[in-house]
Structure 1
Amino acid sequence: MKTVRNIFINNRVCSVFCRQFLIVLPLIENMFAKIHHLLLIICLSLLIYACFPEPLDVEGVPSPENQVVVNSQIVPDQFLAVSITRNFSALTAGPQSNIDSFLTTILISDLEIHIRADGQTYIMDSVAEGIYGLDDLPQEAGTLYELSFINPYNGDSTRASTTMMEFVGFESLETSLLVNEFDTLLDVQYSLIDPQGKNWYMINVQELDSSIDITNRPFTELINDENFEDESYQSSFTVFFRDFAPQDTILISLTNISEEYYEFLELRNEQRYQFISELGEPVTYPTNVINGFGFFNAHLPDIRIIQADSL
């Protein structure tokens, strides 16, 4: 008998990328001397969103064909980071896996990754195994970014493109702790100024500590401007399935995102309500990568760091 969860987690290798990024943090700091330690932690936190449901014993499940998985993160006015890994299934790794050993089997190195923007082609630097960085890429709203490299599994070109969305930040942000007999929740009240045109937003809430837990993804609130286009918008939400405490350091970020990434996150959010995951159907997540999986993004988050004891 083999242990397998009902959802293949090809799209979640970006959370593994976060763990590896922490391992090579000194190398990144030497390479990009202007990057502050806090910005690196923020970058990693925005990428963490792995989830491990309870296992289901089955047998005879075939392994997927090897394919590359692309994930990216921009730190505003600092750098672009891209991870290239191979896909893996729930048969390959689980909550009891040795993450450090597992990383060496999925990270893909020695690639020449090109980024084209504003008519100029940049070659990304290899920061560490499977991780590539670029610190001189122009970051302008409306710019089209095109990523390309040779896929080591089939010899064809893997490509992806994304447009940097207009920066939208919090107009106001207030938080408070909600204590009940079971746990302590976080209430978030916010407002933003919605620019012209259709827009889609995500707000991520993530507790930060010295060890990044790849099984603990951020709480994500999704918003679209269908009902409030081109005006100030105020709303609130409660972060559940968490237990906050005084002295907790919490990251809250607002990002104007693309429609296709919004649809990806919407599908992912639907899965968080399936308490009995074995009864849910397998999910195939969308991708903007040609000849690969994952998502290539160039979003500019408005990042706030708060202390729970000051709420």
Structure 2
Amino acid sequence: MKTVSFLTKKLGFGLIWLLLGLGLFSCEPDPIEIDLPAHEPKLVIATQVFPAKYMVVQVSKSFSSLAGDGKEMNADTTFLKTLAVEHALVQINFNGQTETLKHVRNGFYVSRNIPQHFQQRYTLTVRDSVSGLECTAATEMLAPVNFEKLEPEVKRTEKDTTVTLHFTLADPGPERNFFLISLVGANRKNLLPKNKIGSFNAVQEQIILVNHGAFTNGKYEGKERLTLETSDTLLVSLSNISEPYYNYLQLYQKSGSLMNQLTGEPINLPTNIQNGYGFFSAHNPTAQVFKISER
């Protein structure tokens, strides 16, 4: 999958060169015409596996960054809905069987009949009957993992309530392992000062990535200060993910907003989608729910 760095980010440099040009030359240079190739849309894939044979696949379309201002489009829910692919044939092949997923809405396709055979190979095929676009991908189902310790610490004052999430992971084996922690009902905004990062986009605020290099003596102990959303229910999930998917999420965090994930140029993100963008991952999370008001 590819993302985009919008031209507005280069505006400051452009103004500097413009002023230098006016000072050095007495005449205006002839304009240079740039012929950019037309953007060719492709399908964008995201997947999730849930217990009890559930699998969800989201299908959308990429678009050109030249279509408009990225920030404005990112806030335009009507425009975002136009990217959803609503008339696709989405199928998963596994163990000699083929399951067709049911369309729900907003580009989401769901099946309740896909057994979770760990180390089993799953192949995705998507064909959009409206645009004619199609793509395919394959992945391996990874075994679920659990937190060794997971506990939110709640502190209340007259002004506000803060929550610090304490967690411990145990390395499941000698091989290289990669983990995805997802947050629902809270975020990590304006945190992690050690990284000198002042703010995060929605995806960055809601996921934590941990790799094998962070473990000491087979353990990883972490803590995250969280900002609660309107609900006081916090859901924390943990997934064992593949190294390619980990690398994809790392770059996804750095690349910016949802707009950047759907555009077609010019920064490459790793992908396992043939003739498309995104990532087909069969990671299976384990989750815990905490009622913060009761703690």
Change (3 A) 1:133 1:266: same
**1:137 corresponds to which letter in structure 2?**
I
Q: How does 1:142-291 map to 2 (within 5 A)?
A: 142-150=119-127, 157-177=134-154, 186-196=163-173, 197-207=175-185, 216-217=202-203, 218-226=205-213, 228=215, 233-239=219-225, 243-244=227-228, 248-270=232-254, 283-291=267-275
Deviation of 1:298 (Å): 1.0
- Deviation of 1:63 after TM superposition, in Å, equals 6.5
The DSSP-based 3-state class of the residue aligned with 1:297 is coil
Q: Distance in 2 between matches of 1:137 and 1:160?
A: 16
Query: 1:49-100 CA distances to partner (integer Å, 9 max, x unpaired)?
Result: xxxx9x6586988773211111111221141111211013454575555745
Task: Assess if the C-alpha contact under 8 Å between 2:236 and 2:287 holds in 1.
Answer: yes
After superposition, where does 1:53-72 map in structure 2 within 5 Å?
Answer: 56=9, 64-72=39-47
On the 8 A contact 2:185/2:231 being kept in 1, the answer is no
Q: Give deviations 1:185-213, integer Å, cap 9, x for gaps.
A: 5422222333222211011223269xxxx
Q: For residues 3-14 of structure 1, what are the structure 2 equivalents within 5 Å?
A: 8=4
C-alpha change, 1:271 and 1:128, in structure 2 (3 Å) is closer
Amino acid paired to 1:261: Y
Q: Which amino acid aligns with 1:233?
A: K
**Separation in 1 of the partners of 2:38 and 2:224?**
39
- Tell me, what secondary structure is at the counterpart of 2:269? coil
Choose which of 279, 282, 286 in structure 2 pairs with 1:295: 279
Cα distance, 1:221 vs structure 2: 1.8
The equivalent residue for 2:97 is: 120
SS in 2 for 1:165: coil
1:94 and 1:185, CA in 2 relative to 1: closer, same or farther beyond 3 A? farther
The answer to whether the 8 A contact 1:66-1:153 is kept is no
For the structure 1 residues 99 and 156, does the alpha-carbon distance in structure 2 shift closer, same or farther, using more than 3 Å as the test?
Answer: closer
Secondary structure of the equivalent of 2:148?
Answer: strand
**Distance in 2 separating the partners of 1:157 and 1:184:** 48
Q: TM-score, normalising length from structure 2?
A: 0.68
Contact 2:85–2:128 at 8 Å: present in 1 too? no
Unaligned regions of 5+ residues in structure 2, if any?
A: 15-33, 188-200, 257-265
The answer for unaligned runs of 5 or more in structure 1 is 1-6, 10-52, 210-214, 273-281
Higher relative contact order (CA 8 A, sep 6+): 2
User: How far is 1:264 from its partner?
Assistant: 1.2
Root-mean-square deviation (CA, aligned residues, Å) is: 3.8
Greater mean alpha carbon deviation, residues 78-87 or residues 149-158 = 149-158
Cα distance in 2, alignment partners of residues 70 and 208 from structure 1: 25
**Structure 1 residue 134: Cα displacement:** 1.1
Name the structure 2 match of 1:135. Answer: 112
Asked whether the equivalents of residues 147 and 160 of structure 1 are also in contact (C-alpha less than 8 Å), the reply is yes
SS at match of 1:109: coil
Counterpart of 2:25?
none
Determine what percentage of the aligned residue pairs are the same residue. 28
Deviation at 1:138, TM superposition (A): 0.7
- String of CA shifts for 1:144-172, please: whole Å, max 9, x gaps: 11001336698575111111111101122
Larger Rg: 2
Aligned residues: 245
Q: SS of 2:89's equivalent?
A: coil
Provide the C-alpha distance between the structure 1 equivalents of 2:285 and 2:45, rounded to a whole number of angstroms. Answer: 20
Amino acid aligned to 2:246: Y
Q: What code does the residue aligned with 1:236 have? A: G
Code of the aligned partner of 1:65: E
